[in-house]
Amino acid sequence: MTDVSGLTGYVSSGMNSTAADSKKLSADMNTFLTLLTTQLKHQDPLDPMDTAEFTNQLVQYSAVEQSIQTNEKLDTLLSLNIANLGAQAVSYIGKTAQVLGDVMPLENGKAKATYTLDKDVTSAAITVKDMTGKIVYSGAAEKTAGTHEFTWDGKDSNGVQLEDGAYQIVVTTTVPKGETSASVTTTVFGKVTGVASDANNVYVGLGDSVTAQLGDIVTIRNDDYFDKDDAQKPSDGEGEDTTPPEGEGDGDSETPPAEG
């Protein structure tokens, strides 16, 4: 993730653009006033200049100057708002964020995403690519409309464990001939590891390899969200509690009511 110090130069140059425009306007205004006063000094008293044109120019200069001053105030408000959002986003650090996007972080051999289909499809497939575009995993996807989860253990198609990092999830679908293609929306999950900002936005780091805009966050969850999927579910009765609930069981075991 890009840290705040790495964005400092960009922030400074963005903030100085309005100041540069104001300085240029001031120089142009001084030049205009110098030319105007020179003309007035040397005008023919018997045939004075038409003042309407340069008065109109003065009004235009004044309007532009006011616009630049307004932009300066808006830049200041925007900077304060971004700083406030960044301060609030710090509370997300350590939690798991669900973010709109297709690049997911593989953290400790775990990656999770969702894909939403707007309609039923004939077939669907999930492909995972590394950041060079190489396909490292492919498999079947759900074909029904709605949101579906995808959990990846970080292993390629040969069962080799891949290094943690950023990986892209791509969902492709086919529909019956003559129908419009299905729309696919993907979100990714990652633990928030940091917050940064520039002149235009606030960003959160997901793991050590993915950066997302604050506005793209869909949900914030507890930091044990991934661990919940690791819990082994009982199967074939193994590990299930066979003790009958209180009050249930064979009829012979019922306790007779106490005699009065």
Kindly state whether residues 172 and 88 are assigned to the same domain.
Answer: no
Max CA separation in the chain (angstroms):
131
Query: Do 199 and 18 contact (CB within 8 A), yes or no?
Result: no
Q: Which two tokens stand for residue 51?
A: 């003042």
Q: Are 152 and 70 in the same domain?
A: no
Query: Do residue 100 and residue 82 come from a single domain?
Result: no
Give per-residue pLDDT as tens, 144-193: 999 999 999 999 988 999 999 999 999 999 999 989 999 999 999 999 88
107 and 196 share one domain: yes
Q: Do both 81 and 113 map to the same domain?
A: no
Q: What is the pLDDT of residue 101?
A: 92
Better pLDDT: 112 or 252: 112
User: Tokens 């110098």 appear where?
Assistant: 34
CATH number where 207 lies: 2.60.40.4070
Sign of CA dihedral 188, 191, 197, 202: positive
Model confidence at 236, pLDDT cuts 50, 70, 90, reads very low
Instruction: Name beta bridge partners: 217.
Output: 99
Residue found by looking up tokens 């045939």 in the block = 47
223 pLDDT exceeds 60?
yes
| Residues 102 and 189 sit within 8 Å (Cβ to Cβ) | no
What is the pLDDT at residue 238?
42
Domain endpoint, select from 61, 92, 123: 92
In tens, the pLDDT along 61-110 reads: 677 777 777 777 676 666 666 666 666 777 888 899 999 999 999 998 99
The pLDDT, as a whole number, for residue 86 is 66
What's the domain range around 167? 96-228
pLDDT score of 231 more than 70:
no
pLDDT, residue 70, reads 76
Question: Does 101 map to a domain?
Answer: yes
31 and 16: one domain? yes
170: in domain: yes
Note whether residue 252 is domain-resident: no
Question: How does pLDDT run across 25-63, given as a tens digit for each residue?
Answer: 666 667 767 766 777 677 767 666 666 766 776 677 677
Same domain flag for 140 and 69? no
- pLDDT tens per residue across span 102-156: 999 999 899 999 999 999 999 999 999 999 999 999 999 999 999 999 999 999 9
- Residue 162 counted as domain residue: yes
242 belongs to a structural domain: no
Residues 183 and 128 in one domain: yes
Q: What is the 3-state secondary structure (H, E, C) of the chain?
A: CCCHHHHHHHHHHHHHHHHHHHHHHHHHHHHHHHHHHHHHHCCECCECCCHHHHHHHHHHHHHHHHHHHHHHHHHHHHHHHHHHHHHHHHHHCCCEEEEECCEEEEECCEEEEEEEECCCCCEEEEEEEECCCCEEEEEECCCCCEEEEEEECCECCCCCECCCEEEEEEEEEECCCCCCCCCEEEEEEEEEEEEEECCCCEEEEECCCEEEEHHHEEEEECCCHHHHCCCCCCCCCCCCCCCCCCCCCCHHHCCCCCCC
In a domain, residue 239? The reply is no
If asked whether residues 74 and 62 sit together in one domain, one would say: yes
Say whether both 196 and 222 belong to one domain: yes
On whether both 147 and 79 belong to a single domain, the answer is no
Total domains in the fold of the chain:
2
Q: Between 51-89 and 4-41, two packed helices, what is the crossing angle to 10 degrees?
A: 170
> Residue 249 falls within a domain, yes or no?
no
Residue 130 shares a structural domain with residue 187 = yes
Q: Is residue 238 part of a domain?
A: no
